[in-house]
Structure 1
Amino acid sequence: MSSHKVILVLLDGLNATTGLQCMGYSQALCQQGLGRAYTLECELPSMSRPLYECVLTGVPPAQSGIYHNNVVRLSHGQSIFHYARAAGLTTAAAAYHWVSELYNHAPFNAASDRHTANPALPIQYGHFYYHDAYPDSHLFDDAEHLRRTHAPHFMLVHPMNIDDAGHQAGYDSSTYRNAARKADIALSGYLQAWLDDGYQVIVTADHGMNNDRSHGGILPEERQVPFYTFGSAFSLADAAIRQTDICGTVCQLLGVAHDKPVCAELLA
């Protein structure tokens, strides 16, 4: 099994239509044959904490027990972080504090958990924020600091401003669309350097957004999210991707042992 370094970018709250229409830099790479854009349907409920768990462990919310955002406890499952650490790889995350609560410590204590450097933890190196308005530009800078300092084999990059904009203005708003454009601009400052350093990069979302300025249900705008792939390990072929496939597919790219489903069509 080949092994690659992987960066997973989870753009919180980004609906597929908005992501595919507003992310001009990402689409430019796809038009040049340097990436591929897909759409997938998120699991239910279309809420953040349950779907962080789904993306990172491959377990849907009805089975994980993380049914809604107020379930504050460590995951009972094995995540990408766990599989990578067990294989002797280095893990990192620049992410919302709920990710720390799922895999490192719960409840989150900012004084001790915001900046993490502990090889014994599933997420060994981390910068975790706890305000939804924490600027995406800063979050991408945090991620790059982790990459340059610790050279992680797997890193999660998880900005929140798109979701925050949707809760303020709704799905069909310039505020929401412009937040997606700003995230794409922030991503453009680092994506090529990541690829040049040998990383395989996935850009997707946990869930979308509706015009009630919320999410959690079954509307297409809540469930349909973008899924971009960049890097030489991806096939760029047609693929039917399930959100529960992401964990196993990343583990396959990392070359680590796992017991999760994989979207084989994505892999070269």
Structure 2
Amino acid sequence: MLKNKVVLIILDGCRYDVAMKQMGFLNSLVEHKQAQLKKMVAEMPSNSRPLYEVIMTGQPMYKNEIYTNLVVQQSKELSIFELVKQAGGTTGVAGYFWMSELYNRAPYNILTDRIQHDEAKLIQHGIFYSEDTYPDSHVFADANSIISTYEPDFMVVHSMNIDDIGHKYTALSREYMTQVNIADTIIGTIVPKWQKMGYQIIVTADHGMDDYGLHGGSLPQHREVPFYLLNNTTELSKETEISQLQLMPMITEIMGLT
């Protein structure tokens, strides 16, 4: 039996320093010791598809072989989804279609793969989108639908608007700052409901965004992302920075998986 249920929120493209300035709901929880905060250092290349695989498997790029965003294939590594399923738990995702390609089926077909409910798959309940402009509010509504209906033990919520706006306007822009602020408001609206349902909440990002609207390299702006843990039963280390490679084993420990 699983010890805890977890919702993992991935804010695509949200860099650490902007989160510190714009995420008032989450930072207030940290200030009042209702959440813990660390700077997380993402793996390289600091691009989405390789880092989704890092987050879900704990394996660096050279091992997991998801080298770039252009590698369209299913994961060959042991993922959190597989561990949860082996333990008799239920999995869910509301997120970008690359998640479906990594853990359910590749390539993605919008006509057959957008909404998936299949107990045999690694992601058993999924609502996927394929346009970067798909509103974050809709992603969280999709997630709430899955959580309310199926109560998965492990749920991933992955939103894309911060990344999309960052590419269009750069991380120095008013538009980027606004989008991070909006994401915090959405989280503040819906996450307390999930907490009351017994979920442990993690909020982080795959990678950041630089002052030119880029990521993928080794700059701190590319690699430094926030890590919020809304869980008062797990004590994080005293280190100010943690590696993204620690996220997968941390989640499995919280859930009581081996």
Unmatched 5+ stretches in structure 1:
258-268
* Cα 1:31–1:236 shift into 2, 3 Å: farther
Instruction: Write the letter of the residue equivalent to 1:55.
Output: I
Residue in structure 2 matched with residue 256 of structure 1 by the alignment? 257
Residue in structure 1 matched with residue 104 of structure 2 by the alignment? 104
* Secondary structure of 1:44's aligned partner: coil
Say if 2:172 is the partner of 1:172: yes
Query: Taking structure 1 as the reference length, what is the TM-score of the superposition?
Result: 0.93
**Matches of 1:18 and 1:30, distance apart in 2:** 16
**Matches of 2:107 and 2:2, distance apart in 1:** 37
Say if 2:65 is the partner of 1:65: yes
Residue in structure 2 matched with residue 115 of structure 1 by the alignment? 115
Instruction: Write the letter of the residue equivalent to 1:8.
Output: L
**Matches of 2:236 and 2:26, distance apart in 1:** 14
**Matches of 1:36 and 1:237, distance apart in 2:** 10
Instruction: Quote the offset at 1:205 in angstroms.
Output: 0.3
**Matches of 1:233 and 1:122, distance apart in 2:** 28
Residue in structure 2 matched with residue 201 of structure 1 by the alignment? 201
Instruction: Write the letter of the residue equivalent to 1:35.
Output: A
Instruction: Quote the offset at 1:68 in angstroms.
Output: 0.6
* Secondary structure of 1:39's aligned partner: strand
Residue in structure 2 matched with residue 89 of structure 1 by the alignment? 89
Residue in structure 1 matched with residue 238 of structure 2 by the alignment? 238
**Matches of 1:164 and 1:97, distance apart in 2:** 15
Paired residues in the alignment total: 257
* Secondary structure of 2:159's aligned partner: coil
Deviations 1:1-47 (A, max 9, x none): 97100000000000000112110010111111100111011000000
Instruction: Write the letter of the residue equivalent to 1:14.
Output: C
Note if contact 2:2-2:257 (Cα within 8 Å) is conserved in structure 1: no
Instruction: Quote the offset at 1:213 in angstroms.
Output: 1.3
Instruction: Write the letter of the residue equivalent to 2:248.
Output: C
**Matches of 1:47 and 1:193, distance apart in 2:** 31
Residue in structure 2 matched with residue 54 of structure 1 by the alignment? 54
**Matches of 1:159 and 1:241, distance apart in 2:** 22
**Matches of 1:236 and 1:196, distance apart in 2:** 22
TM superposition outliers: structure 1 runs of 4+ over 4 Å: none
* Secondary structure of 2:242's aligned partner: coil
Instruction: Write the letter of the residue equivalent to 2:38.
Output: Y
Deviations 1:39-76 (A, max 9, x none): 01100000000000000100111211111100000001
Deviations 1:111-169 (A, max 9, x none): 11110100000000010000000000010000000000000000000000000010000
Deviations 1:223-258 (A, max 9, x none): 10000000233225524421111111111111122x
Instruction: Write the letter of the residue equivalent to 2:242.
Output: I
Query: Taking structure 2 as the reference length, what is the TM-score of the superposition?
Result: 0.97
Instruction: Quote the offset at 1:92 in angstroms.
Output: 0.2
**Matches of 1:50 and 1:100, distance apart in 2:** 14
Q: Which has the higher contact order (CA 8 A, sep 6+)?
A: 2
**Matches of 2:250 and 2:208, distance apart in 1:** 22
Residue in structure 1 matched with residue 131 of structure 2 by the alignment? 131
**Matches of 2:56 and 2:232, distance apart in 1:** 22
Q: Note the aligned Cα RMSD (angstroms).
A: 1.2
Instruction: Write the letter of the residue equivalent to 2:4.
Output: H
Residue in structure 2 matched with residue 37 of structure 1 by the alignment? 37
